[in-house]
Amino acid sequence: MRRFETDVQLIKYEVLKEVARYTLEGTLEKNFHKIPKKIDPGPRPRIRCCIHKERAITVERVKLAMGGDKDNKNEIEVINAACDECPINRFTITEACRGCLAHRCIESCPVKAIYQVGKRAYINPEKCIECGKCKSVCPFNAISDVMRPCKKACHVSALYIDEEKIAVIDNEKCVQCGSCVYQCPFGAIMDKSYIVDVIELLKKAKAKDELRVYAVIAPAISSQFTYVRIGQVVKGIKLLGFHDVVEAALGADMIAYNETLELAHRLKSSKVMTSSCCPAFVAYIQKHYPSLIDKVSDSVSPMVAVARLIKSMDENAKVVFIGPCTAKKAEAKESHAVGSVDYVITFEELCAMIDAMDIRLEDCEDALLDNASYYGRIFARTGGLAKAVEHVVEAEKLDIECKPISCDGLAECDKVLKLIKADRLKGNFVEGMACFGGCIGGAASLHHGPKDRNEVDKYGQLAIEKEVKDSLRVFDLDSLNLTRD
């Protein structure tokens, strides 16, 4: 059975399911205002102070499920009404304070926010700028640091707290990895959904035989619907109205091959190249290490590669990518991806669509899914891309020494990028994964507990095609443009 880890995930699912259901019925515009009362029937609130506030927050969730603020280019938005339960003051002086003579906390404070009464020091929250200098100098460790979960989760410092103590996203820094979405314990941060657009597209395709909608599923699906077989999930996706289901892992095979050849060429004049598969990692370099942009591979991501392949074979195709990644929603709107990928939805949204149509995956027959090789499928976990590149180097007998480095999460990515900038990196190919564990740790996964990377490898081993070239032998890749130009 499907289980939800938290009420945050459950409520998000309930909203998405109702939006999907009304869209399928063609009555969303007429009935969307009914959703808050259906989700929060009352009279008692589920978690908030009163039912009225709970419904007001659900109204905002419904808006995001219907596409959110069109003027905000970020795919991640803060629900202001829901962002009010976290500790207001980050730093607090505890009972451990001895009122010492040194007064290092008072002397270190740049805004004079700390004062002493008797033998205790106190922080004036109206003045405190949360710099943390007082905590670092206290000899008794008497100052507690309660950082908001969203800020703690953001490794790019794109979140700040405004004068109303509400979280604000700095779009100039945000890489839209979605870490804050998952980590906020009150669901006050949520990704926009294109579930309405996708359902309308499927309805249009049903009415027009010449229009075909293809679902491209990320290889991370191997760690998602754990209560059924992947073949049953594929069948469920087809029952939604998709013409066919294609593995993004096929695009991963294409990019593993293309990126390896690019690496061989680049190493003639450069010491290092980074991968371009993870959009949050690429955005991190663009926004925080602009001097290293020339180190990023020119290859598109597997999502874009397989979308271009589909559209080269079917001029009436529309492509919807389904995965665990919020950053993919932003990538689909980038100039190089527009025209290739039409929409992106997450596994959470797929789950809501399937249930809104009353499809029981447990009762579905297995549908065939075999588009990719072992190496394409293991892109879902950190180290998979690096392993695929090493394989291509060996299989193609390329005259290069490939020294890959796999970065697990943005914190590790940052360390490696600093080494590149200082010209001290010992490797020559960097696989950057913004999410810990790789795509299987994506913010929009159906569950976020520890994931066994061996399960990804087992899924890879089920592939009929064992080598990258095997899965690509029937395609003319030379006719495809696999660059971001």
Q: pLDDT tens digit string along 304-352? A: 999 999 999 999 999 999 999 999 999 999 999 999 999 999 999 999 9
- pLDDT confidence of 85, banded at 50, 70, 90? confident
pLDDT at 91 > cutoff 80: yes
Q: Tell me whether residue 77 is in a domain.
A: yes
**pLDDT score recorded for residue 432:** 97
pTM, entire model: 0.92
Kindly state whether residue 484 falls inside one of the protein's structural domains.
Answer: no
DSSP assigned state of 365: P
What pLDDT was estimated at residue 450? 66
Quick one: 398 and 417 in the same domain?
yes
Residues 183 and 137 placed together within one structural domain of the fold: no
Name the nearest CA neighbour of 269 among 173, 400, 460: 400
Whether 117 maps to a domain, the answer reads: yes
Contacts of 418 (CB under 8 A, 6+ apart): none
Residues 347 and 372 in one domain: yes
Q: Is the domain of 162 the same as that of 297?
A: no
Nearest to 192 by CA among 436, 12, 410: 12
Q: Is residue 471 part of a domain?
A: yes
The pLDDT mean for the chain works out to 94
Give domain status of residue 341, yes or no.
Answer: yes
Residue 404 and residue 451 in one domain: yes
Q: Are residues 267 and 184 located together in one domain of the fold? A: no
Does 299 lie in the same domain as 370? yes
Question: 13 and 39 in one domain?
Answer: yes
Rounded Cα distance, 431 and 259, in Å: 11
Q: What is the mean pLDDT of the segment spanning 115-138?
A: 92
Looking at the structure, tell me whether residues 257 and 350 fall in a common domain: yes
316 with 429, same domain: the answer is yes
Number of domains into which the chain is organized: 4
Name which of 14, 440, 443 is nearest 190 in CA terms: 443
**Parent domain of 139:** 91-145
* Mean pLDDT computed over 117-127: 92
Question: Which residue among 171, 192, 213 closes a domain?
Answer: 192
485 inside domain: no
CATH code where residue 159 lies: 3.30.70.20
Q: Are residues 213 and 182 in the same domain?
A: no
The 10s digit of each residue's pLDDT in 249-270 is: 999 999 999 999 999 999 999 9
pLDDT band at residue 395 under the 50/70/90 scheme: very high
Question: Residues with Cβ < 8 Å from 331, sequence gap 6 or more?
Answer: 279, 301, 303, 304, 337, 341, 344
Is residue 44 in a domain? yes
435 domain residue, yes or no: yes
Considering the domain architecture, whether residues 336 and 365 belong to the same structural domain is answered as yes
